[in-house]
Amino acid sequence: QKEVEQNSGPLSVPEGAIASLNCTYSDRGSQSFFWYRQYSGKSPELIMFIYSNGDKEDGRFTAQLNKASQYVSLLIRDSQPSDSATYLCAVNGNNFNKFYFGSGTKLNVKP
Amino acid sequence: DTEVTQTPKHLVMGMTNKKSLKCEQHMGHRAMYWYKQKAKKPPELMFVYSYEKLSINESVPSRFSPECPNSSLLNLHLHALQPEDSALYLCASSHGITDTQYFGPGTRLTVL
């Protein structure tokens, strides 16, 4: 079982719609959860991080964490073509300090 | 300022060459990382330095040799690489080893 799992996609949504990206993790003791956006050929760029159960909003982005179910999601409201990228979920392990990346979900926002 | 810089941006080397990748941050971060990323794959952790000491070495071949001269600098020395080592090499840093990591722009390495 992989430490962090994501649907590879591609996920296609029309411009202006809500894009929903999901991630599950295996280490129940994980404390920190991150979403990175990566454009083709570029390095990962931090979008959001979340530590506590519930929702965290930042502009058009909302991260949701449910530790009981071991999943974390990212909602992108009013999706724009410029949001088209691969979104990487990352989780910081509990006892050790390992930073596990999911395989990423490719998002396509169609004009 | 959340900038991590890496040089060079691109590197082409032969299998007998010796080269080094460099990474620098001035955010006062005490943890620095090297990742390797192949096309359409997530970054794979190679090395982690915490307070200038190597704390993780993910069984990376010895042809990759990390060095942390001080808290702001991280090098990756390359020797006798193979074509399959061609990839994007990413440096990242964080305040502590459990904190948010910020990535540099990467070095695109091609081994001929």
For chain B, state the CA radius of gyration: 13
Backbone angles phi, psi at A82, to 5 degrees: -70, -10
**What span, in angstroms and rounded, lies between the C-alpha atoms of A100 and B22?**
24
Q: Would you state the torsion angle of the CA atoms of residues A79, A50, A6, A4, taken in this order, to the nearest 10 degrees? A: 170
pLDDT at A111 over 90: yes
B98, B99, B107: which to substitute to probe chain A, counting the most A Cβ within 10 Å? B98
With 80 as the cut, is the pLDDT of residue B108 above it? yes
Q: Is A26 on the interface with B (CB under 8 A)?
A: no
Q: What is the pLDDT of residue B100?
A: 87
Average pLDDT estimate for B52-81? 91
Out of A34, A43, A92, whose CB is closest to B90? A43
Does residue B30 carry a pLDDT above 80?
yes
Q: What is the mean pLDDT of residues A96-100?
A: 69
Instruction: Indicate yes or no: CB of A98 within 8 angstroms of CB of B41.
Output: no
Q: Can you tell me the mean pLDDT for B25-38?
A: 94
Query: Which of B100, B107, B109, B110 should we substitute to test contact with A (largest number of A Cβ atoms within 10 Å)?
Result: B100
Are the beta carbons of A97 and B48 separated by less than 8 Å?
Answer: yes
- Cβ–Cβ contact B22 with A under 8 A: no
Residue A24's DSSP bridge partners are A5, A71
Task: Tell me the shortest Cα–Cα distance from A96 to chain B, in angstroms.
Answer: 9
pLDDT of res. B2: 65
Tens-place pLDDT, residues A3-27: 899 988 899 999 999 999 999 999 8
Q: How many helices (H) and strands (E) does chain A have?
A: 0, 11
Q: Where does the pLDDT of residue B57 fall: very low under 50, low under 70, confident under 90, or very high at 90 and above?
A: confident
Q: What per-residue confidence (pLDDT) applies to A94?
A: 59
Per-residue pLDDT of A23-81, as tens digits, reads 999 988 888 899 999 999 899 999 999 999 999 999 999 999 999 999 999 999 999 99
Cα R_g (chain A), whole angstroms = 13
DSSP one-letter string for B40-109: TS--EEEEEEETTEEEEE-S--TTEEEEEEETTEEEEEEES--GGG-EEEEEEEESSTTSPPEE---EEE
Antiparallel, parallel or unpaired: β A85-92 and A99-101: antiparallel
Is the pLDDT higher at A85 or at B100?
A85
d(CA A64, CA A20): 10
Which pLDDT value is given to residue A95? 52
| Euclidean distance between the first and the last CA atom of chain A, given in angstroms as a whole number | 37
Interface test with B, best of A31, A94, A99 (most B CBs within 10 A): A99
- Is B92 a residue whose pLDDT tops 90? yes
